[in-house]
Structure 1
Amino acid sequence: MNIQEVLSHKVKEAVKSIFGQELPSVEFQPTRKDFEGDITIVVFPMLRVVKGNPVQIGEQIGAYLQEYVEEVLAYNVIKGFLNIVIDDVFYLNFFNTIKETPHFGFVEESKEAVMVEYSSPNTNKPLHLGHIRNNLLGYSVAEILKASGKKVYKTQIINDRGIHICKSMVAWQKFGNGETPASTGLKGDKLVGNYYVAFDKTYKKQIAHLVAEGTDQKVAEKEAPILQEAQEMLLKWEAGEPETVDLWKTMNGWVYKGFEVTYKNLGVDFDTMYYESDTYLLGKDVVEEGLKKGVFFKKEDGSVWIDLTEDGLDEKIVLRSDGTAVYMTQDIGTAIQRVKDHPDVNGMVYTVGNEQDYHFKVLFLILKKLGFLWSNKLHHLSYGMVDLPSGKMKSREGTVVDADDLMADMTQTAATISEELGKLEEYNEEEKQSLYKMIGLGALKYYILKVDPKKRILFDPEESVDFQGNTGPFIQYTYARIQSILRKAESMGIDISNDAKISELHGKEKELIKQLQLFPDTIQLAADNYSPALIANYTYDLVKEFNSFYQQVSILGESNEEKRVLRVQLSSKVAEVIKDAFKLLGIEVPERM
């Protein structure tokens, strides 16, 4: 039981004993630095239950706690805030119980499973900066949910069919001269992406030509010959025409190999894959069932809809008049299929940009109306766009911020800044390159993940690779510094296997233990809120607290052997928590720097 749980129980007991009232909950916050105390009980919310002066109420509760809770040494009341001083022995005992615990704060996996979907790219172009935020968020949330005790399946649905891939296929047939990733040395996703751009350029030229000959702009956009070829190809694919299907399989195969390289470099993975070419017909049977149950209704033209006006939304089509599915139909069917494939799944997280907020409100509501119990545990992990200082990304013009290029640029930026700072003189070239990549990717991931997912980000590569401030490299550098301390401690023969025999803590030691104490709750809070930002900013606070400790107390130079042992143990545990927290963000830490 942590100190908040102990105090919460006793505060409720005090209110019952002194005032004869039941207190539903107790609000805590860290004690402000300018007041004495370790934890603060906020009295104001109690006034809903206990009438009176908040200072007097605080004084009475404080006196009760001091008498009946052995960990409480003293208290003081400032306005409506009851500041509690906790005995050092409590923190020492806590630290001694966790210092040997591997992955402190992580919870054992339960039987309840959740599926986290992220990435879900189109197969007509490489992954870009927006995909990077998507992948980092989805992967990190999956890892945080796992650490919080959930069983997690990581998945994606690959958008491998439709007009977009047919555009690349038509352009390759027209302009490709049979070239392949092997013959060009290009990654497959980049090669296919080039033909998507080539299609668009030709399409625009054809529109301009038709308009110049007197065709109306909108008519020209529909009648451009290359678009009609792509539409014909889509019909052939849907009819299963062998030559078209073979080309589709070949070009998608190139793209998948390219994606694999990007995912590996980014450090994300998946347990299962779904393909739109397999799922696009799913959901039609469910619509028929829903019609029988009265969940859906049919219009005069034969199209099927759902009326969500009573829920504050509008009418939504789920089947066209010609019987073909819309995206909503497919998403309904895919969600149901995933639960059939993984019967232990009791919730899903969809990592998709905020432009799809409305879509997911509708999807979740439809699944609820269809009677699926797990529909109450569906979450749209909605996120904002990422911009670079140079401006917004565009894909059709070929000016997309390519994910591979950005990762390579981040590695180069890390190399330039590291060399300027002269931090890597003892490294050989191979070690340097490995470290540059670790620092560069760490900077990229941390910069993106430290921001609340819902917020739009202006990503500044150089600012992200700063070795000072709230950045990945600053935290990585602190971890490496601790490893250096631990190596020196080992060479000095300092034995840290036993508990340090002391009864009083330096203020900085106490603050560090208090910060460590917050890690398990932070993991649970991050899981409940689907927010890697909570883990990122907790880690920064821990590192700031450690650096303050490092500057104000002597660690290896401490003359008292027991204090020296405790300080080395503390340093070791802080490093462990940094490493575990960064693992939840998909970031590696260097042993030296």
Structure 2
Amino acid sequence: MNLQETLEIQVKQAVKSAFQVDVDSVEFQATRKEFAGDITVVVFPLLRFVKGNPVQIGETIGAYMLEHATDVKAFNVVKGFLNLEINDSYYINFFNSIYKQDHFGFVKSNPEERAIMVEYSSPNTNKPLHLGHIRNNLLGYSVAEILKASGKKVYKTQIINDRGIHICKSMLAWKRFGNGETPESTGLKGDKLVGNYYVKFDQEYKTEIQGLVAKGIPEEEAKKQAPLLIEAQEMLRKWEAGDKAVVELWETMNGWVYNGFNETYKNLGVDFDTLYYESNTYLLGKEFVAEGLKTGVFEKAEDGSVWCDLTDEGLDKKIVQRADGTAVYMTQDIGTAIQRIKDFPDVGGMVYTVGNEQDYHFKVLFLILKKLGFDWAKNLYHLSYGMVDLPSGKMKSREGTVVDADDLIDEMAQTAAEISEELGKLDGYTEAEKQELYKVIGLGALKYFILKVDPKKRILFDPKESIDFQGNTGPFIQYTYARIQSIIRKADFDYHATLSAVERSLHDKERELIKQLELFSEVVQFAAEQHSPALIANYTYNLVKEFNSFYQNVSILGADTETDKIFRVQLSQKVASTIKDAFSVLGIQVPERM
């Protein structure tokens, strides 16, 4: 039981004793800096139960707490706020209880609880990963790790969109204009080579449209009549029919892309427990479309297409299968969800990490799965996030104006190198050590800049701004961690002894730092509930700010007494391990030296 939970019981007892009424909850907040106190009881909500002057009510509760609550040493009342001062012994005992705990704040999973499957990345196999994919991967991976830290069993997965008209566009362009190029012959990563042909298709397609428009055909009609598009559509039909030559080309080009993706995932530091492929799951989706037709969940239109009427639920009609029998995204997503539960019966819910332009799609998907009778559908969650913009504007894959993920990762390391060299902090490093450190700083800057923002918000990403050794940035936090490691290395005495709560009183800065540490387990749980890495990121920044204030105001290794030295090194060490744990769920490394 933490301090707030203990105090809540005692405040309820105080109200019961003084006013003979029961209250169902007590509202707390951090005490404002200008007042004495560690935690504040907000009296105003109690007026629903207790009639009277809020200041007098606060005084009455405070007096009871001072007499009966062993952790309370003083109180004051400001208007309707009861500020409680907590004994140093509480904070020292709390610190002693966590000092030797590995991964304080994390909870071990209960094997009997249902697991959660977190989906992220889920790329198309017609282009390399870009900046938008980076936000997706970082969010999904981090949410999975936060859920694990909160005590959940988690499976990390993705659905690879390896079929459809977009794939056929790249395939057709390579067939028409590729002259047999391969990743080996060009020296390009496979995903980049295939992506080039997706852009090539769009260029040639637009040329054909312009030619048709010049002949007097309306533009919208020209887009449908362009020979390249018609041929790509025919290629998709052949693929679904199992045409040998088309399937072989599809397998070859997808193989190139998978090799490229795996290299990017490794560089980004994300992984998956299991993979799903749309080329497999759409078939199961089609089976359930047929089943839904029998049970009346779906209906067939005159042209043979299959729809789900959701107008009674405030939505519209949604197509689940085309007139020619080919699948749409919804078909695949229905099949994928069902297949995952078949493969992992212990899964009780899923998190889909997908951009907010798909908000409507997931409302429809979850509703259709409920209509199909799946009870687990009520535990599906769309982790919706905003787009990532650059100072130069929005990215467009078809036009080739995207920020390539590999290029951005390399650019971040290069920028970290330039700034580190300017600061001159790397004396004594070998060249190999420097290069590794640049990667850690650059990737940490990228990840932190993206994850510190609430997922729902749009981001304007500026690589230069993200790599700053001051302010709310990854490198600033990494530097503080490295500074603490330097302190620990210089501690030439045994600092592991446990100090009793009566051996010393706390400096204000020590107390504030312990109070910040105490919040960590609560933040982990709340971040898991909210599916928000931003809560962890900004907690870590606040912890680091508190440590730097402590570092600047008290002497650690030069403290007056041996007891002070021991305690302050222990406190610094615990701050460092908490930074490391917090950054671990964000997928960010911390360097031992900087």
TM-score range, shorter chain: over 0.9
Residue 88 (structure 2) aligns with: 88
Distance 1:175 1:309, change over 3 A: closer
Q: Aligned runs of 1:495-534 on 2, under 5 Å?
A: 495-499=495-499, 502-534=503-535
CA distance in 2, matches of 1:389, 1:485: 40
What is the aligned partner in structure 1 of residue 61 from structure 2?
61
Secondary structure in 1 matching 2:11: helix
Aligned twin of 2:48: 48
The one-letter amino acid of 1:480's match is A
Q: Which deviates the most, 534-543 or 169-178?
A: 169-178
Gaps of 5+ in 2: none
2:151 maps to: 149
SS at match of 1:25: coil
Q: Which residue in 2 is equivalent to 1:573? A: 574
The answer to whether the 8 A contact 1:279-1:334 is kept is yes
Q: 8 Å contact 1:123–1:165 — kept in the other structure?
A: yes
Alpha-carbon RMSD: 1.5
- 1:69 corresponds to which letter in structure 2? A
Deviations 1:266-287 (A, max 9, x none): 0000001000100112223333
AA at the equivalent of 2:376: W
1:439-467 C-alpha deviation (Å, 9 max, x unpaired): 11100000000000000000111111010
How far apart, CA to CA, are the structure 1 residues paired with 2:154 and 2:443? 24
Residues 96 and 498, structure 2, Cα contact 8 Å, conserved in 1: no
Partner amino acid for 1:504?
S
TM-score, normalised with respect to structure 1: 0.97
Whether 2:250 is the aligned partner of 1:248: answer yes
Deviation of 1:54 after TM superposition, in Å, equals 1.4
Amino acid at match of 1:463: E
Q: How many residues get paired?
A: 591
Query: CA deviation digits over 1:71-124, x for unaligned, max 9?
Result: 111111111111111100000000001000000001001232100000000000
TM-score (structure 2 length as normaliser): 0.97
Kindly provide the amino acid, as one letter, of the partner of residue 570 in structure 1: L
- 3-state SS, counterpart of residue 283 of structure 2: coil
**What amino acid is aligned across from residue 372 of structure 1 in structure 2?**
F
For 2:20, the equivalent position in structure 1 comes to 20
| C-alpha separation in 1, matches of 2:342 and 2:561 | 62
1:432 equivalent in structure 2: 434
How much does 1:316 deviate?
A: 2.6
Q: 1:16 to 1:371 in 2, by over 3 A?
A: farther
For 1:5, the equivalent position in structure 2 comes to 5
Quote the residue 1:272 is aligned against.
274
Name 1:213's counterpart in structure 2. 215
**2:399 matches 1:389:** no
CA deviations on 1:552-586 (whole Å, 9 max, x unpaired) are 00000012001110000000000000000000100
The CA distance in 2 between the partners of 1:155 and 1:28, in whole Å, is: 39
SS of the residue 1:110 aligns to: coil
User: What are the Cα deviations for residues 397-424 of structure 1, in whole angstroms up to 9, with x where unaligned?
Assistant: 1121111111111111111111111111
- In the other structure, the counterpart of 1:222 is 224
Cα distance 1:419–1:65, how it changes in 2: closer, same or farther (>3 A)?
Answer: same
* Greater CA drift, 375-384 or 573-582: 375-384
Residue pair 1:496, 1:568 contacting (<8 A) in 2 also:
no
Q: Which amino acid aligns with 2:479?
A: Y
> 2:542 is matched with which residue?
541
Per-residue deviation, 1:21: 2.2
Q: Deviations over 1:457-515 (max 9, x none)?
A: 001111110100000000000000000000000xx223324336623111111111100
User: Equivalent residue for 2:355?
Assistant: 353
Of the structure 1 ranges 61-70 and 559-568, higher mean CA displacement relative to structure 2 is found in 61-70
Structure 2: which amino acid aligns with 1:52? G
Asked whether the 8 Å contact 1:116–1:350 carries over to 2, the reply is yes
Offset of residue 321 of structure 1: 4.5
Q: In structure 1, give the amino acid aligned to 2:167.
A: I
Residues of 2 paired with 1:276 and 1:457: CA distance? 29
Secondary structure at the counterpart of residue 347 of structure 1: strand
1:187 aligns with 2:198: no
Give the equivalent residue in structure 1 for 2:478.
Answer: 476
Contact 1:450 1:533 in 2 (8 A): yes
Q: Which secondary structure state, in structure 1, belongs to the residue aligned with residue 284 of structure 2?
A: coil
1:254-403 equivalences in 2 (<5 Å):
254-299=256-301, 302-403=304-405
Instruction: Give the conservation status (yes or no) of the 8 Å contact 1:502–1:563.
Output: no
Cα distance in 2 between the residues matched to 1:216 and 1:292 = 41
| Partners of 1:225 and 1:208 in 2: CA distance | 12
Q: Deviations over 1:137-160 (max 9, x none)?
A: 000000000000011100000010
- Per mean C-alpha deviation after superposition, the further-off stretch among 244-253 and 292-301 is 292-301
Question: For residues 369 and 12 of structure 1, what CA distance do their matches in structure 2 show?
Answer: 45
Note the alpha carbon deviations across 1:415-440, whole angstroms, 9 max, x for none: 11111111112211111111111111
**Bigger mean CA offset, 443-452 vs 374-383:** 374-383
Does 43-52 or 493-502 show the bigger shift?
493-502
Aligned equivalents of 1:210, 1:115: Cα separation in 2: 48
Matched residue of 1:317: which SS? strand
1:413 corresponding residue in structure 2: 415
State the AA in 2 paired with 1:170.
L
- For 1:212 and 1:315, how far apart are their aligned partners in 2? 37
> How far, CA to CA, are the matches of 2:309 and 2:228 in structure 1?
39
Equivalent residue for 2:142?
Answer: 140
